[in-house]
Chain A
């Protein structure tokens, strides 16, 4: 059972939220870049 939004509160797109989310994209890119780089180093031994 849920209640309809009782205080009408919404989460706005504040500069703080936006900066966190942009930082999120950057972190994802860095983390995946690290993973791909390390994997390619190992893969290079295949050829």
Chain B
């Protein structure tokens, strides 16, 4: 069988390769696919261009997130077997093609093409790209998996920070009549189509940097001073390996699924409503909010930064204090913060912002720490494939979180008339959801030895992966 440039065998690092040069290749992918969280920049322009409702345009993002979960779950095994280079290449092709097909849909005013392009094809790129560097980083950083995955997954949060202002500026270039500083100014559909083409090309080039430079460590490689036995002595950390097929038969997988689902559902509840929420919390008796629309936009930006920073800071911290304790913090302290936000959040803007920033940092931390938690429980053998399956919790939470919050708020009154009191039931519901996750995390125990792979079958992840199928 011919070996191509994209095959795992061609990516084995030679002697003297520094592992600190691997994170930029992972970031090259995650910073690009993180654009998915910056779709609000052109949402209004698409509503006007297609004469569609906000919901019809919002479906584009929903399809992409559902496809992310599905492709990560279905393609995780393929990613582990074929290595990061081929996976990153497929992700780059899908992500770029998604933008180009989407641009064609906008230019010809066919919304279904945007659903197919950005939603389905781009969504597959999102899922494959999200999980592609994870197992590679864990293999390069067996002593600090939280730091390694935190660095990469931080890129997903940072992608929106870059794409949002960049897209706004590009729309201004492509449509001279558009001025983002003027309220009510909307970019033309042609400008959004050109933006999609530009982003597709730029993201493809940047992701190819990751494709060309990513390396996997040689079999048996370990960093200097690394002692697996010392690590395995910690609670819930194993030096055995569990296959993806066996992992989904363990209660540990489903407990972690519940933990991730609860953490994401609660965080999305705030993230989705961030801009109207801060305005509603500080609405005066006359119905006017003391927080302007522009300031609310600044609040959303601050939450994005907290989301990004939490991914790196908390995930790295988990290497020191352990994975279960840090999730007890995300969920337990999160419960206290949500309760405080509901009861005393309206006393001052600074207190409200502080609580929300901490909550969003825990939301990001939950995403970034989960691959390291999986590695602790199931070993590094097929951690990419297991991570892919676990990401279905994200898709489910992406539907459940907004449904719960919007459903409760709809019962409280009309948008633009709500006050802090109207948010109390939604916030306290999130406390209950976090409590469920807290209990699920407390119930985590080491995986039973009957699920462990026999040592003789697991020297080469790629070959052993094939053997389990």
Residues on A close to B: CB < 8 A? 1-7, 9-13, 17-18, 20-22, 24-25, 27-28, 31-32, 34-36, 38-40, 42-47
Contact = CB atoms under 8 A, between A and B. Distances in A.
Interface string B10-22: 1111111110010
Contacts of B304: 39
Contact of A7 (B3, B164, B292, B460): B3
Given A2-B463, A32-B162, A42-B298, A13 B25 contact: no
B81 A2 contact: yes
A35 B213 CA distance: 24
B349 A24 contact: no
28 contacts: A4-B9, A4-B463, A5-B12, A6-B9, A9-B3, A10-B12, A11-B13, A13-B13, A20-B209, A21-B25, A21-B213, A24-B213, A27-B209, A28-B27, A28-B31, A32-B31, A35-B162, A36-B161, A39-B161, A39-B304, A39-B305, A45-B292, A45-B298, A46-B291, A46-B296, A46-B298, A46-B302, A47-B349
B9 to A, nearest CB: 4
Contacts of B218: 10
Nearest to A1: B466
Nearest to B291: A46
A4 to B, nearest CB: 7
Given A44-B298, A46-B295, A5 B9 contact: yes
B305 A20 contact: no
Contact of A10 (B14, B165, B166): B14
Nearest to B3: A6
A11 B161 contact: no
Contacts of A43: 298-299, 301-302, 305
Interface in B50-107: 81-82
B462 interface: yes
Nearest to B81: A2
Most buried by B among A6, A39, A42: A39
B332 interface: no
B353 interface: yes
Contacts of A5: 3, 9, 12
A20 B28 CA distance: 12
B162 A31 contact: yes
Contact of B213 (A1, A12, A20): A20
A38 B209 contact: no
Given A12-B14, A28-B31, A31-B162, A2 B349 contact: no
B13 A46 contact: no
A18 to B, nearest CB: 7
A20 B13 contact: no
B294 interface: yes
A40 B164 CA distance: 13
A43 B15 CA distance: 46
A40 B462 CA distance: 44
Contacts of A45: 292, 294-295, 297-298
B173 to A, nearest CB: 16
Contacts of A34: 162, 165-166
B12 A13 contact: no
Given A2-B81, A45-B295, A39 B301 contact: yes
